[in-house]
Amino acid sequence: MEGVQAIKQRFEIIGSDIKLNRAIEKAVQVAPTDISVLVTGESGVGKEAIPKIIHALSHRKHAKYIAVNCGAIPEGTIDSELFGHEKGAFTGATQTRRGYFEVADGGTIFLDEVGELPLTTQVRLLRVLENGEFLKVGSSQVQKTNVRIVAATNLNMIEAIKKGKFREDLYYRMSTVEINIPPLRERQQDIHLLFRKFASDFSQKYKMPAIRLGDDAIQLLLKYRWPGNIRQLRNVAEQISVLEEERYISAGTLNSYLPSAGDSQLPAVIKKESARNDFSNEREILYKVLFDMKGDLNDLKKLTLELLKNSDTDQVQEEHEGLIKKIYGENGDTTKTEERPLKVLPLPETSIVRKTEQETPQEDKYSFAEEIQEEETLSLQEKEIELIKKSLDRNRGKRKAAAAELGISERTLYRKIKQYDL
């Protein structure tokens, strides 16, 4: 078995980070077996090197090695690409086609960005992993394949499973061994080494002197977070090699090629504005509801006062029809006084007492208040009976005409006649 250093030289892997070395060691250990491997890590860290190492050190090294970018194949054609299709299986299928699993029989398939696979394709892939069987699109004949699957993803698979984007059984079946590649920011001792390697490569490619970094530029290079990892580092080295005439690169020059370099050392900021906004919106809605309720209560008080002052409920309903509908609903009916007679509530005794304290001596204030209340009630009732009798006599007992003369509805007049036993 080859050592880690020999593997690095053979596959042109640069770096001496402990985590990187451990990832290579795991790849070397699982290579002779047929265990399924899942390579994880951020985009641009170089995950594609691990499947090559596994295939090259396995007993399948003389068979085919096929790398498939699952995220680059449209959802409608990925099943056909992976498993093949029969002639006439769908529009445009003019002939039978062999899929990657059939072509790579006996070899290795590297499924890059496996987290982007549709759920229907994941079911097919699970069957291949479990018993090596698959069906071509449009075919009912089961075919066998002997393929080793090495997959890679930059997604958090546990989160993807929780969101229902990836099958849990497929994840555990595929990640028998999981190899994680560390991001470039965790390999600070390798950053300058990689930059020098890229600068040397582009110097030979474009036939120009290699660029060199000053001490301040090296410090900036190490402090930057490199969200695009090795891919971004390579692109920056290529841009500087081509665009800069000066071969000695200062921190200022390097800084112009690093997006948001000033914020590179800051941790990711979790914005709380959305939470604040949500709270503010809820508070505004609550205030609005409370103000509306206050307005409704004031309107209800106004309506109740009108009903107490005016015994003609039909007239009150006509004047306040919109308010009644708002309070009692569209089908609200307040005119059914026979079923729900209005009760004129007497004023609280305490209010009467306070009003009369200043006008009467202490010893007879209660009796005087009672006399005033009784006298006013009787006089109003007597006047009302007198008016109704006169109107009925004048209109010869015709209630409709009498009601019109009194300015009340016939129904209210009927109720008054019944109430006063006229």
Q: In angstroms, how far apart are the furthest CA atoms of the chain?
A: 126
- Which of 51-55, 207-211, 264-268 is predicted with the least confidence, judged by mean pLDDT? 264-268
Average model confidence (pLDDT) for the chain?
Answer: 82
Going by pLDDT thresholds of 50, 70 and 90, the confidence category of residue 396 is: confident
pLDDT of residue 289: 79
Q: Which residue would you say has higher pLDDT here, 349 or 395?
A: 395
Of residues 302, 344, 308, 309, the one with CA closest to residue 327: 302
Three-state DSSP at 369 gives helix
The pLDDT assigned to 293 comes to 82
Of 139 and 268, the structure prediction assigns the larger pLDDT to 139
Weakest mean pLDDT among 48-52, 64-68, 130-134, 305-309: 305-309
What is the percent of the chain where pLDDT is above 70? 77
Least Cα distance to 82 among 110, 40, 49, 47 occurs for: 110
347-363 mean pLDDT = 44
Which has more confidence, 105 or 304?
105
Q: Give pLDDT, residue 190.
A: 95
Query: What kind and span of H or E run contains 302?
Result: helix 273-309
| Positive or negative: CA dihedral 62, 64, 70, 72 | positive
In this structure, the strands spanning 97-98 and 84-85 are: antiparallel
Q: Is the dihedral of CA 397, 403, 404, 406 positive or negative?
A: positive
How far is CA 263 from its chain centroid?
27
Instruction: For the chain, report the end-to-end CA distance as a whole number of angstroms.
Output: 120
Which amino acid belongs to residue 391? S
Residue 350 has pLDDT above 50, yes or no: no
The band of 338, judged by pLDDT with boundaries at 50, 70 and 90, is very low
Distance (Å, whole) CA 323 – CA 332: 11
Q: How many CB atoms lie within 10 A of CB 419?
A: 13
- Mean pLDDT, residues 163-184 taken together: 95
Q: Is the dihedral of CA 327, 331, 337, 338 positive or negative?
A: negative
Q: What pLDDT does residue 398 have?
A: 83
Q: pLDDT higher for 402 or 139? A: 139
Q: What is the pTM of this model?
A: 0.61
Whether the Cβ atoms of residue 249 and residue 240 lie closer than 8 Å to each other: yes
Domains of the chain: 4-182 (3.40.50.300), 185-263 (1.10.8.60), 300-345 (no CATH), 346-422 (1.10.10)
pLDDT of residue 309 exceeding 60, the answer is yes
How does pLDDT run across 38-63, given as a tens digit for each residue?
A: 999 999 999 999 999 999 999 999 99
Distances from the Cα of 402 to the Cαs of 347, 396, 397, in angstroms? 32, 9, 8
Mean pLDDT of 14-26: 94
pLDDT at 318 over 80: no
Contact 226, 232 (CB under 8 A): yes
Least confident of 106-120, 210-224, 252-266: 252-266
Single-letter amino acid code for the residue at 199: A
Q: Tell me the C-alpha distance between 102 and 119, whole Å.
A: 21
Q: Given this model, what pLDDT does residue 357 score?
A: 43
Q: Which of 158-172, 301-315, 382-396, 408-422 is predicted with the least confidence, judged by mean pLDDT? A: 301-315
pLDDT above 50: residue 200: yes
Residue 186, pLDDT above cutoff 90 = yes
